[in-house]
């Protein structure tokens, strides 16, 4: 499925434009079914977008926020995506949103992923999913060479959260599976910079999904992909 490109002049315009689009989708979901769900990415790209979204007028108490993926680290860690979201999104007008973490204190990451799957049951299909992309072509924690990449990308793998380990990942990861993310009501890839534009162009060429896992989303997502980009 081909992606629709939304191009902005700079990072601030991108953050504001994406916040407008996402808040409209969340408001429409609240209007239609009384509640809205959104799964967001971590990393460095979304911070300004989170700040912009947190200022939008919405019935935030009806919005459930979770993460596309997380590191197996507690929220006190500066590597925690939960901490990033708490500091930048669950603030301003969005303080009333309901946040469902993927990290759970547990003996093993597998135990934590089972708890995360249970805590997020029924949230997917999400109203909104905002994916990021690394320069290695990973999205969520679908890393090239990831220990459970095949299972994560298999459309037959049920919705839920699984663990992932990979050389490029640092800590063990907790990630929603492809089947949990690909059919969001509004499916976004949020990237910034010419480097990532080139990575995306590379991913759009023929090649193995396992080498650039973003290809699974580009090629097989049920929902049309909306690419939000600025230089
Ligand atoms: O590891 C991760 O990286 C990607 C991209 O991060 P960025 O710093 O290049 O914006 C992110 O989408 C993913 O959620 C995160 O866990």
For residue range 180-222, list pLDDT tens digits in order: 999 999 999 999 999 999 999 999 999 999 999 999 999 999 9
State the pLDDT confidence band at 1, using cuts at 50, 70 and 90: low
Average pLDDT over residues 49-75: 98
Contact 43 CB / ligand 1 (< 6 Å): yes
Query: Which ligand 1 atom is at minimum distance from the Cα of 46?
Result: 10
Average pLDDT over residues 41-66: 97
Q: Give dist(CA 119, CA 117) in Å, integer.
A: 6
Q: Is the pLDDT of residue 42 over 60?
A: yes
Q: Is the pLDDT of residue 2 over 80?
A: no
Helix ranges (H only) for the chain are: 11-33, 47-54, 81-88, 109-119, 149-153, 178-181, 194-203, 214-220
Q: Which structural domains are found in the chain, ordered by start?
A: 4-230 (3.40.50.1360)
Number of H helices, E strands in the chain: 8, 10
Answer yes or no: is the ipTM higher than 0.90: yes
Q: What is the pLDDT, as a whole number, of residue 50? A: 98
Q: Is the pLDDT of residue 25 over 70?
A: yes
- Indicate the average pLDDT of the chain: 97
Query: Which ligand 1 atom is at minimum distance from the Cα of 170?
Result: 1
Q: Please give the distance, rounded to the nearest whole angstrom, from the Cα atom of residue 41 to the centre of ligand 1.
A: 7
Other CB atoms within a 10 A radius of the CB of residue 225 amount to: 21
Q: Please give the distance, rounded to the nearest whole angstrom, from the Cα atom of residue 135 to the centre of ligand 1.
A: 9
Query: Which ligand 1 atom is at minimum distance from the Cα of 44?
Result: 8
**Which tens digit of pLDDT belongs to each residue from 99-156?**
999 999 999 999 999 999 999 999 999 999 999 999 999 999 999 999 999 999 999 9
Which of 18, 39, 42 has most ligand 1 atoms within 8 Å of its beta carbon, as the pocket-test mutant?
Answer: 42
Assessment of whether the complete model's pTM goes beyond 0.95 = yes
């Amino acid at each position: 499925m081909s992606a629709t490109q939304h191009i902005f002049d700079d990072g601030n315009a991108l953050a504001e434009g994406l916040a407008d689009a996402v808040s409209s989708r969340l408001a429409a979901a609240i209007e239609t079914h009384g509640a809205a769900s959104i799964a967001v990415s971590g990393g460095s790209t979304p911070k300004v977008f989170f700040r912009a979204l947190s200022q939008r007028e919405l019935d935030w108490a009806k919005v459930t926020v979770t993460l596309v993926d997380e590191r197996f680290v507690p929220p006190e860690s500066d590597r925690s995506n939960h901490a990033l979201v708490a500091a930048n999104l669950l603030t301003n007008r969005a303080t009333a949103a309901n946040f469902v973490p993927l990290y759970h204190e547990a003996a093993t990451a597998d135990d934590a992923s089972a708890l995360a799957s249970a805590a997020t049951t029924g949230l997917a299909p999400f109203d909104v999913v905002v994916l990021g992309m690394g320069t290695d072509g990973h999205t969520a924690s679908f890393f090239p060479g990831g220990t459970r990449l095949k299972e994560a990308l298999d459309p037959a793998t049920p919705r839920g959260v699984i663990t992932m380990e990979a050389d490029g990942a640092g800590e063990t990861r907790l990630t929603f599976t492809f089947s949990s993310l690909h059919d969001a009501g509004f499916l976004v890839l949020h990237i910034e910079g010419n480097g990532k534009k080139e990575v995306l162009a590379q991913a759009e060429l023929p090649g193995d999904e396992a080498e650039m896992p973003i290809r699974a989303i580009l090629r097989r997502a049920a929902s049309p992909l909306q690419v939000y980009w600025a230089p």
